[in-house]
Amino acid sequence: MVKLSGGFQYSRNHQRITSQDPASGPGLFDGNGKLLGSASSPIQIWKDGDCIEQSSTDIWHSICASVKAACSLANVAGEEVSGLGFAATCSLVAVDADGSPVTVSWSGDTRRNIIVWMDHRAVKQAERINSSNSPVLQYFGGSVSPEMQPPKLLWVKENLQESWSMAFRWMDLSDWLSYRATGDDTRSLCTTICKWTYLGHAHMEQLNEKNSRDMEACGWDDDFWEEIGLGDLVEGHHAKIGRSVAFPGHPLGSGLTPAAAKELGLSVGTPVGTSLIDAHAGGMGIMESVPVSQYEEKENGKEAICHRMVLVCGTFTCHMAISRNKVSIPGLWGPYWSALVPEFWLTEGGQSATGALLDYIVENHVASPCLANRAAYQSTSLFELLNRILESMMHDMEVPFLAALTKDIHVLPDFHGKRSPIADPKAKGMISGLTLDTSEKQLALLYLATVQGIAYGTRHIVEHCNSYGHKIDILLACGGPSTNPLYIQQHADIIGCPIVLPRESESVLLGAAILGAVAAKKYSSVDEAMKALNAAGQVIHPSEDPKVKKYHDAKYRIFQDLYEQQLSHRSIMAEALS
């Protein structure tokens, strides 16, 4: 199920805010950023090898149903909603001049007009784009990913000529949702900068000249599009990919159109804010969630936010850190100007499979069905059951600390490629230390080693950022895996930083709600809304036991060695086949 979210705000006797996410439910928030209610609706997805597709029509219908359900469950009338914002996965949507779907599928099925973010059909196109050495690539750590939009667009042009000629608009999913709701084709700085190669700093220069936050799209590098074979997208002042671009939260058009308002069960003209990518909405919903404590006291004013890294955990993990000054880091995406917090530079790292990897490891083990049945019988999650098994093993085996159970098993978690700080979509997962054991205890060890492998990947990203000028010493985490105490404690111990969890678990929804709040002018800026609506919850501290640090330092070296071995093996086999 794809993750989507939209935020909308409403008032009764006091201010309230709402946001929408069919994966975890549209959420209604009050003026203090507290979640009041939610609902959910499933979304169809088609998978065929590297091709993963969805339907914008299906997604819109799901959104309309879940918005109405959320309002009903919270006992809120549609006319009480005062603002709406959308966030969605960075998936590519194709529509014709009438707004009807244009297929992006080999099947020709017109419903399938979305190439999902994790689709890897465009690996070869990405490689060709990266070989161009365009100056644009310096804002993507030196290379674009096949998960970004230029490679996907190039794939469609080269493989689906009829669809290419029919498409009138190519849009990020969250921008399409905003467009579907308002009829305003203004794109978000977040989506265009992070996934389309729009140069936000060019936007900044125009802002300085004209003092406007709603600008014509001046950040497209036409030479780049011409060089990679997509020069036709430059035509009509970039009409197909975005003539105008605005800050997230900027009010779009005249708000909800009559048709969209009727479908959503809301009022005509309800303000809608320019969108965010879902992970970035999570960043906006948590970035200011640090408690007033020693962590903030040692920092000065606006620089405090520059010491933080946000981990938005889900199917994959997105790592986001911001800075006042431009920091270029090889292997990490960015720096992106104003893609998350206005007038700050965003550095973005990521792991392509984290929550999805844990699901894969657990569900494909022979002991999984029995464990799943027991978890259901005990009304708990399978992961909680595995955590209990590990605690029992630690005591039975008399190991000094839980992490030490995995001294003989090591996992390189790149099962869906390596995103950062080394961009290698061809990377594969590796497991060292397997035996013929098929017991529940062996599954628990494999699960723990996988969690640790994911955390070593995050440590690699944090260390890489700090080596290039960031000063990250606090992590903020949100999303499904972050609610797992073992997952989050292993991350704290391995990275050596305290990790703050938000008061409200649905940070993506809250970030989307902030867009609606700003569009409805409940707050003068995104910064003000974040400070008002973000709130800290639990703080997880790293272990103070020096033996724990020594242990993880050793496993971290093995984590790095596994990838080096893979590169060596790849070279050996390439030579053999040459």
Range of the domain at 374: 355-459+544-577
In a domain, 320, yes or no: no
With 60 as the cut, is the pLDDT of residue 163 above it?
yes
Record the tokens describing residue 201, joined without a space: 């700093």
With 80 as the cut, is the pLDDT of residue 279 above it?
yes
How far CA 304 is from CA of 299, 500, 570, in Å, comes to 5, 14, 43
pLDDT bin (cut points 50, 70, 90) of residue 520 is very high
268 lies in the same domain as 360: no
141 lies in the same domain as 248: yes
With 50 as the cut, is the pLDDT of residue 352 above it?
yes
- Closest by Cα among 171, 165, 221 to 195: 171
Residue 353: partners with Cβ closer than 8 Å, 6 or more residues away: 315, 316, 360, 413, 414, 415, 416
pTM of this prediction? Answer: 0.88
In a domain, 414, yes or no: yes
Half-sphere exposure of 505 (CA within 13 A, CB side): 11
With 50 as the cut, is the pLDDT of residue 16 above it?
no
Domain count, the chain: 2
CATH number of domain containing 140: 3.30.420.40
Q: Average pLDDT over the chain, rounded to whole?
A: 90
Distance CA 18, CA 70 (A): 9
With 70 as the cut, is the pLDDT of residue 17 above it?
no
244 lies in the same domain as 373: no
In a domain, 527, yes or no: no
Half-sphere exposure of 233 (CA within 13 A, CB side): 28
Percent of the chain with pLDDT over 90: 79
265 lies in the same domain as 382: no
412 lies in the same domain as 559: yes
89 lies in the same domain as 197: yes
Q: What is the pLDDT of residue 299?
A: 52
pLDDT bin (cut points 50, 70, 90) of residue 1 is very low
| Residue at which a domain ends, from 237, 252, 276 | 276
| Residue at which a domain ends, from 250, 276, 302 | 276
CATH number of domain containing 555: 1.20.58.2240
227 lies in the same domain as 364: no
In a domain, 92, yes or no: yes
In a domain, 531, yes or no: no
In a domain, 241, yes or no: yes
Record the tokens describing residue 393, joined without a space: 């093993």
141 lies in the same domain as 237: yes
253 lies in the same domain as 371: no
Q: What is the pLDDT of residue 524?
A: 94
Task: Encode pLDDT of 389-410 as tens digits.
Answer: 999 999 999 999 999 999 999 9
The one-letter code for the residue type at 28 is: L
Task: Encode pLDDT of 89-136 as tens digits.
Answer: 999 999 999 999 999 999 999 999 999 999 999 999 999 999 998 999
In a domain, 479, yes or no: no
- Closest by Cα among 340, 351, 354 to 511: 340
263 lies in the same domain as 363: no
Task: Compute how many other C-beta atoms are within 10 angstroms of the C-beta atom of residue 231.
Answer: 13
10 lies in the same domain as 157: yes
How far CA 234 is from CA of 174, 223, 312, 327, 500, in Å, comes to 22, 9, 34, 29, 44
Q: Given the structure tokens 């400070």, which residue do they identify?
A: 531
266 lies in the same domain as 361: no
Sheet with 244-246: strands ordered across? 187-188, 244-246, 214-216
In a domain, 136, yes or no: yes
| Residue at which a domain ends, from 253, 276, 299 | 276
With 60 as the cut, is the pLDDT of residue 294 above it?
no
Percent of the chain with pLDDT over 70: 91
Radius of gyration of the chain (CA): 23
Task: Encode pLDDT of 452-461 as tens digits.
Answer: 999 999 999 9
Q: What is the pLDDT of residue 301?
A: 59
